[in-house]
């Protein structure tokens, strides 16, 4: 049996799972749509991984990251829970030497991570403006009746990208429609949309940051060649897209799990048969003070096993 490490990255749009061996080689990966059902999606992903590789490997460590990292950690039995900044930085540093900048764009948020000598020195995130995220291109691709997978191909054919207002997703859409009605061709409009997203990203997330090469472009949106081309044009040099760009957060979580288990000597991973376990969450508003915290309760087979969300820790302590 091969000793391996599981990394789980659950975001608002996608759920990514990877399995690495002790040398850091990728043995298996799953990229699933979360579809607003993180519990069921994690169970499905673990079950699919198990059906493919459970007979060949033994999971000796598990880590979770992403916006649903605490929830997914309770589902799989994680040994470590880390934020996306740490996970993406760890993955990039293992894959590339002397990384200075990480650009990460997901479906609903985007981030920039500045590293010097392998240490994160600065970062910024955008979680409020859709024009700087992958969902912006998804929406415009739908309006243009173009599969998002073909978006980069259209942009690559452009000879004169149209300048489209990219400060706000609503204004960008209005401006795109206006440009269509003026008769601009589809390729130039698509390339203009890619450049608008890059300008939004650089003016918001990247504002005031010292962006030095090598720049690593991570996240599912990095598959869009039009966006890669737009970043190259804006920065004046080529960004690097990792081979496993879509699952780099999960890869980082797996590396972190390897470190965590090395210190504690054992894993809490629950196994691949998670579909047999009934997980459920409920929530309530704490009336203990003016903070009115929304407390989440997590049940496993009807047993309350965790609470989180309270600032003072009162409800969490009652479970432990």
- Closest to 248 measured CA to CA, from 105, 40, 68: 105
> Domain check: are 104 and 237 in the same one?
yes
> Domain check: are 137 and 212 in the same one?
yes
On the question of pLDDT at 211 being above 80, the answer is yes
The stretch 38-60 carries a mean pLDDT of 93
The stretch 285-311 carries a mean pLDDT of 92
> Domain check: are 173 and 200 in the same one?
yes
The stretch 208-236 carries a mean pLDDT of 92
> Domain check: are 215 and 264 in the same one?
no
What is the C-alpha separation between 30 and 19, in angstroms, rounded?
Answer: 9
* 18-32, 38-52, 154-168, 212-226: least confident range: 154-168
- 44 CB-near residues (< 8 Å, 6+ apart): 32, 275
> Domain check: are 266 and 212 in the same one?
no
Distance (Å) of CA 37 to CA 10, 281, 309: 10, 12, 19
> Domain check: are 272 and 288 in the same one?
no
Q: How confident is the model at residue 229 (pLDDT cuts 50, 70, 90)?
A: very high
The CATH number covering residue 211 comes to 3.30.420.40
Which of 218, 241, 264 is the endpoint of a domain? Answer: 241
Evaluate whether 172 touches 218 at the Cβ level (below 8 Å). no
Count: domains in the chain: 3
The stretch 226-237 carries a mean pLDDT of 94
12 vs 285, residue with greater confidence: 285
> Domain check: are 237 and 102 in the same one?
yes
Q: Which residue range forms the structural domain that includes residue 39?
A: 2-88+249-276
pLDDT at 169: 66
> Domain check: are 121 and 67 in the same one?
no
> Domain check: are 218 and 112 in the same one?
yes
> Domain check: are 272 and 283 in the same one?
no
Look up residue 41 and give its DSSP letter: H
> Domain check: are 189 and 121 in the same one?
yes
Q: Coil, strand or helix: which one is 234? A: helix
On the question of pLDDT at 115 being above 80, the answer is yes
On the question of pLDDT at 320 being above 60, the answer is no
Which of 191, 219, 241 is the endpoint of a domain? Answer: 241
What is the C-alpha separation between 242 and 217, in angstroms, rounded?
Answer: 7
> Domain check: are 135 and 176 in the same one?
yes
pLDDT in tens, 117-172: 989 999 998 766 666 677 777 777 888 888 878 888 888 888 889 898 766 666 77
């Amino acid at each position: 049996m091969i000793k391996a490490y599981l990394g789980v990255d659950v975001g608002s749009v996608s759920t990514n799972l990877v399995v690495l061996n002790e040398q850091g080689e990728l043995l298996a990966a799953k990229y699933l749509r979360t579809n607003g059902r993180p519990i069921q999606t994690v169970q499905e992903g673990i079950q699919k991984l198990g059906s493919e590789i459970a007979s060949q490997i033994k999971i000796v460590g598990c880590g979770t990251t992403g916006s649903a990292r605490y929830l997914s950690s309770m589902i799989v039995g994680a040994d470590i829970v880390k934020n996306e900044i740490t996970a993406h930085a760890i993955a990039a540093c293992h894959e590339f030497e002397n990384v200075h900048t990480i650009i990460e764009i997901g479906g609903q948020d985007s981030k920039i991570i500045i590293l010097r000598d392998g240490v994160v020195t600065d970062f910024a995130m955008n979680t409020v403006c859709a024009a700087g995220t992958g969902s912006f291109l998804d929406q415009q691709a739908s309006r243009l009746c173009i599969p998002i997978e073909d978006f980069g191909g259209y942009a690559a054919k452009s000879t004169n990208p149209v300048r489209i207002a990219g400060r706000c997703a609503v204004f960008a859409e209005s401006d795109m429609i206006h440009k269509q009605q003026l008769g601009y061709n589809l390729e130039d409009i698509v390339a203009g949309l890619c450049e608008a997203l890059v300008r939004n990203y650089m003016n918001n997330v990247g504002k005031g940051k010292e962006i030095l090469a090598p720049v690593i472009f991570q996240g599912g949106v990095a598959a869009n060649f039009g966006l890669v081309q737009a970043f190259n044009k804006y920065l004046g040099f080529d960004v690097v897209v990792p081979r496993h760009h879509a699952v780099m957060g999960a890869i980082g979580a797996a590396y972190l799990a390897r470190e965590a288990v090395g210190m504690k000597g054992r894993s809490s991973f629950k196994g691949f048969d998670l579909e047999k376990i009934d997980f459920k969450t409920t929530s309530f508003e704490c009336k203990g003070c003016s903070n009115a915290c929304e407390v989440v309760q997590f049940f496993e087979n009807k047993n309350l096993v965790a609470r989180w969300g309270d600032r003072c820790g009162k409800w969490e302590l009652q479970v432990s």
